[in-house]
Amino acid sequence: MAHNSKFIPEPRTVAIVGCPFSGGQPKLGVDQGPIHLVEAGLIGQLEELGWKVKFDGHHQFEEINAAADPPIGILKNPRLVSRVTEAVAKAVGAHAAQGELPLTLGGDHSLAMGTISGTLMKYSDACVVWIDAHADINTVETTGSGNIHGMPVSFLLGIGSKVEEFSWVKPLLKADRLVYIGLRDIDAGEKKILRDNNIKAFSMHEVDKYGIGKVVDMALDHVNPNRDRPIHLSFDVDALDPTVAPSTGTPVRGGLTFREGHYICEAISETGLLVALDIMEVNPSLADPASVQQTVAVGCSLARSALGETLL
């Protein structure tokens, strides 16, 4: 393996947390993302890189019963999303506690409420690098869609009015420990939240202006100036241009190239500080079979780059 890992002890173990879950948004099929990623050979690919891979099947969220789950305000499936993400927080937290690196496969991005909560249980000083076309920082007050995959960051930061159902989410993430790369579709209410909370974000405008190398340096300088804090990387594949990752629920043109996306993962791997990784929003039921295969392959290769695959 190419890089030293400062927080993950030998033998370096990655724990796959497969999350077939779509309740944070309305499009069916995103729950099949993790199954496709594993079937594409992800586990063997990570073993090839020298990781010990733990995977004992995808989580079975069907056991989580939220049959009566009427909207709270306009939030859709609130009880289901709350219970599933709480279970994910426990699973990710338990892997992290054992010194393993949890790789969570989505599923929609509401899951990050769980994954980041889990990371912060073990590493209270962790920072979050969020790669996305969207900021996913709507609050109860600002969400227009009621889709909770557009809201997890506000819950983690503790901004917006509280929803009793989500009281398990502790606002442990500080605004200066969060940085975005790839943004290009931000709701008006979200823009105000980013400004009011001084949240650092590198949109596609900054990627164009400075180039991805400089953007990643600046992003890490902001959240991790001494390069000593654990990093949680949450990667929504819709950060990539739709020509690169077409099979996703909310594609937005003008996104990261294949190389820009992989460069981010490679640069974070080089720091040796990665402690958790999310690959989110792969939806194999959207687009034609070739596009699905392409998107799933990109999801796997992003994970490999973040876990140490190098070009040379």
Q: Give the span between the Cα atoms of 179 and 92, in whole angstroms.
A: 21
Which of these is catalytic: 136, 190, 206, 278? 136
Does residue 36 carry a catalytic annotation?
Answer: no
Alpha carbon dihedral 255, 261, 264, 267, in 10-degree steps, equals -150
Whole-number Cα distances in Å, 244 to 81, 145, 215, 302: 29, 26, 20, 12
Interaction partner, residue 138 (ligand ARG, Mn ion, none; CB < 5-8 Å by kind): ligand ARG
Using CB under 6 A as the binding rule, whether residue 149 contacts ligand ARG is answered as: yes
Using alpha carbons only, how large is the chain's radius of gyration in Å? 17
Q: Give the span between the Cα atoms of 202 and 184, in whole angstroms.
A: 9
Residues of this chain, 208-267, that bind Mn ion according to CB under 5 A: 236, 238
Q: Compare residues 238 and 241 and give the one whose CB is closer to ligand ARG.
A: 238
Q: Compare residues 185 and 266 and give the one whose CB is closer to ligand ARG.
A: 185
Q: Could you say which DSSP state residue 240 is in?
A: B
Q: Give the span between the Cα atoms of 304 and 201, in whole angstroms.
A: 25
Does residue 196 carry a catalytic annotation?
Answer: no
Three-state DSSP class for residue 17: strand
Using CB under 6 A as the binding rule, whether residue 22 contacts ligand ARG is answered as: no
Residues of this chain, 163-192, that bind Mn ion according to CB under 5 A: none
Binding residues: 109, 132, 134, 136, 236, 238
Contacts with ligand ARG, residue ranges (CB under 6 A): 109, 134, 136, 138, 143, 145, 147, 149-150, 187, 236, 238, 250, 281
Residues annotated as catalytic (active site), given as ranges: 109, 132, 134, 136, 149, 236, 238, 281
Binding residues for Mn(2+): 109, 132, 134, 136, 236, 238
